[in-house]
Structure 1
Amino acid sequence: MAMNHVTALECTICGKEYDPDQIIYTCSEHEDVKGILEVKYDYDIIHDNFNVDLDGDIRSQWKYESFLPVHDDAVPVTLNEGGTDLFDAPNLSDELGVTILVKDDGRNPTGCFKDRASSIAVTKAKHAGRDIITCASTGNAAASLSGYAARGGLDCRIFVPGDAPAGKLAQPLVYGADVLAVNGSYDEAYDLSVTVTDEYGWYNRNAAINPFQVEGKRTVGHELAEQSRVRGEIPDWFVFSMGDGCTIAGAWKGFREFYDLDYVEDTPKMLGVQAEGASAIHDTFHDHDDVDEIANTLADSIAVGRPRNIIKACRALEESGGTSVTVTDEEILKAEKLLGSSEGIYSEPAGATPVAGVRKCLEEGIIESDETVVVTSTGFGLKDTESAKQATSDVQHIDPDLSEVQKLYGNAEAMATDD
């Protein structure tokens, strides 16, 4: 049993190190779980063990197992997450006036990006002999973890805010999880999940504090690096929506690792996009004084008032030479409709938020029209159909008669004559 390529868990605030073989969530030197830990690696060992072809053939994120913080004898709990396509988006590019590529992570097994982290969580929990796993979630992590817990044969207990979308709660129930809807916000559900973890000793998957969850998410950076390498060009910008901050942090860490190991020749700038009603990371990055801890946005997947990974997210923005912007809920809904109607990609609001961010950055001159941009859609649209209804027009009800269609589209014979 060995995990020799993982050297330590290091506090992002004070630098104190911990044994990576123990189950620990945050640094003991800081109150209110603020001492978020970073997984540190021996990259010489990783490089020696990483014997794969970077040819764009990515069946799952476990192609990068040499980079993942799991023991040699751990059996991966997987549903073939990762390996999502990087699509050319010519219609969206024409609409926005810039070259756009779309990484569609809504195609993961449970319909969201978080499957990358859940696979790691359940693998780690099962290897550690834990039989119950938990997390707090606005919906996607709940569904994701529940599916992987079922796959791994673990009991799963989920804490969600009372207003979580019904569609997202149906999934974990089908997967057999206990779903506990907390009468309060996501942050209150999160706090309760941490308290319960301390009380019962359940394994906690919360990406906000579990240091190994970001490591699963960073495989999207590995994939984007490999896919960019095959295409022969590193895009100028990678764009992610931000809630807690661990997704953009993980993506940057993964891509930077491939750059540091000389697998790719350049790095992109990272653009983080937040909803105006949940903008704590953006406000911190731009040194705003009025950081609001109350989340108010229809994009529930990024409705986080007190992000725990602000340090990691801001570091990704700064190190990459990138930046962050905020967008309104109205702009998010327009982006959801635009992405679907232009490219046939159905994203939930948080998944379409990067498109809204790109449009804003083009208007403000942050992104230039001759640059290339990759947006990552993090969740499938059927996760939140109510928001989709707000983004589109109503269904048109007609009688079963040809004349009803003619009222809408004209007479077919006349139209043929006009042609």
Structure 2
Amino acid sequence: MAMEHVTTLECTLCGETYDPDQIIYTCPNHEGVKGILEVQYDYDIINDRFDQPLDGVIDSQWKYRAFLPVDDDADPITLNEGGTDLFDTPNLSDELGVDIRVKDDGRNPTGVLKDRATSVSVTKAVHMGQDVLTCASTGNAAASLAGYAARAGLPCRIFVPGAAPEGKLAQPLVYGADVLAVDGSYDEAYDLSMEVTEEFGWYNRNAAINPFQVEGKRTVGLELAEQTKGDVPDWLVFSMGDGCTIYGGWKGFREFYELGFVDETPKMLGVQAEGASAIHDTFHDHDDIDEVAETVADSISVGRPRNTVKACKALEESGGTSLLVSDDEILAAEKTLGSAEGIYAEPAGAAPIAGVQKALDQGIIESDESVLAVVTGYGLKDTKSAMEASGKPQRIQPDLADVNALYGDERSSSQ
């Protein structure tokens, strides 16, 4: 193996270091999965190897291979993830009363930002000769892992909570995965996946504990730094579930800043649902942290986030903050984003828009500041919530009179 640019895996709690070429998920010095590991790099080597033009042309996240913790001789398992569009959104800006742009990561191959992480972890699993892939998921990671497992030709066994949306489970089933619906919460499915990993030796993609997952997600930050070079937003907004996505986005952006590729960094705004608020509560030093998660935004419905330390680090280092939004506000934001700009987001992907609105109302974001929100998942992941946000179709008879009753006044006024 050859990963000269990767120096070590370091525990975020005690600083103990481990060989990055071994399969290790968390620091054994801590009970359970508290000892989350961080990949450390030699940036002199990365800087020497990275020879891509920063011209905004990004065919896939593998443009940044020099930054990724994969061996030099590993063949990427890829579906051309990354390189997603950054949109100017003038209609949404008018609606919210602030200059806002949107990066739509729902355009990734399986419809979710998580594809960035999955591509890296499956590449590593194949290179290390692993036979079976597994994870716990509320739906999106399940679909992502199943798709890339199919691409790699490996069996995939996924644990999901029994209440996971059926639309999300269709994807991994089509991709050929074994989908095991656990009669319990996401956290219970997660715990079972960890027990199975220990017992059977399957390779676990769980983003919170697989240290290489965040490293794939950080390509969204690298892309954003490149795409906004010369026009860095004041605020960069992500929804938060386990906490690894917002940290990945921050880490990537910060790396480009520290290497001198961009001149400044944004403040991070983390948005959680009121019914799944553990990271927000920890960041704001609340005494009572509820580990029960219940929200329409199932992708961020996490009661016991495993990457709270990293998420809070992103908020603190960037000078940012976090806030909570209600399910009603999330659904309203899904409708607003779609009707204003034609961008279709699942609830977790729309939560940042709800967060921007609330941050403006609370004076966290000023109206003269600029904002960039990241949509993490495509709306067809959860059509039930979309219908709840938008209402049902109007039923009419196959008769021109019914159409005239609805729009006749418009026709007469235009003549």
What TM-score bracket applies, with the shorter chain setting the length? over 0.9
Cα-to-partner distance string for 1:173-230 (whole Å, 9 max, x where unaligned): 000000000000000000000000000000000001000000000000000000011x
2:241 aligned partner: 243
Q: Aligned partners of 1:323, 1:183: CA distance in 2, in Å?
A: 35
Offset of residue 410 of structure 1: 1.6
Q: Aligned partners of 2:112, 2:386: CA distance in 1, in Å?
A: 16
What amino acid is the match of 1:285? Answer: F
What amino acid is the match of 2:239? Answer: S
Runs of 5+ consecutive residues of structure 1 not aligned to the other structure:
none
Q: Aligned partners of 1:413, 1:16: CA distance in 2, in Å?
A: 72
Cα-to-partner distance string for 1:319-362 (whole Å, 9 max, x where unaligned): 00000000000000000000000000000000000000000000
Q: Aligned partners of 1:192, 1:54: CA distance in 2, in Å?
A: 43
1:407 aligned partner: 405
Cα-to-partner distance string for 1:129-175 (whole Å, 9 max, x where unaligned): 00100000000000000000000111100000000000000000000
Cα-to-partner distance string for 1:372-408 (whole Å, 9 max, x where unaligned): 1000000000000000011012111111110010111
What amino acid is the match of 2:203? Answer: Y
2:22 aligned partner: 22
What amino acid is the match of 1:317? Answer: L
Q: Aligned partners of 1:12, 1:411: CA distance in 2, in Å?
A: 64
Q: Aligned partners of 1:266, 1:238: CA distance in 2, in Å?
A: 12
What amino acid is the match of 1:282? Answer: H
2:300 is the alignment partner of 1:302? yes
1:137 aligned partner: 137
What amino acid is the match of 2:404? Answer: Q
Offset of residue 414 of structure 1: 2.6
Q: Aligned partners of 1:337, 1:184: CA distance in 2, in Å?
A: 30
1:208 aligned partner: 208
2:168 is the alignment partner of 1:168? yes
Aligned residues: 415
1:416 aligned partner: 414
Offset of residue 32 of structure 1: 1.1
Q: Aligned partners of 1:415, 1:178: CA distance in 2, in Å?
A: 58
> 4+ runs of 1 displaced by more than 2 Å?
411-417
What amino acid is the match of 2:369? Answer: E
1:67 aligned partner: 67
Q: Aligned partners of 1:92, 1:198: CA distance in 2, in Å?
A: 47
What amino acid is the match of 1:143? Answer: A
Q: Aligned partners of 2:221, 2:297: CA distance in 1, in Å?
A: 23
Question: TM-score scaled to structure 1, two decimals?
Answer: 0.98
1:85 aligned partner: 85
1:287 aligned partner: 285
| 2:256 aligned to which of 244, 255, 258 | 258
1:96 aligned partner: 96
Q: Aligned partners of 2:148, 2:300: CA distance in 1, in Å?
A: 22
Q: Secondary structure at the match of 1:25?
A: coil
Cα 1:409–1:132, aligned 2, differ >3 Å: closer, same or farther? Answer: same
Q: Aligned partners of 2:157, 2:257: CA distance in 1, in Å?
A: 39
| 1:352 aligned to which of 350, 353, 357 | 350
Q: Aligned partners of 1:120, 1:189: CA distance in 2, in Å?
A: 23
Q: Aligned partners of 2:340, 2:394: CA distance in 1, in Å?
A: 21
What amino acid is the match of 1:324? Answer: S
1:184 aligned partner: 184
1:277 aligned partner: 275
Cα-to-partner distance string for 1:242-263 (whole Å, 9 max, x where unaligned): 0000000000000000000000
Cα-to-partner distance string for 1:14-43 (whole Å, 9 max, x where unaligned): 000000000000001001111000000000
Q: Secondary structure at the match of 1:410?
A: helix
What amino acid is the match of 2:29? Answer: E
Question: TM-score scaled to structure 2, two decimals?
Answer: 0.99
Q: Secondary structure at the match of 1:331?
A: helix
Q: Aligned partners of 1:407, 1:78: CA distance in 2, in Å?
A: 52
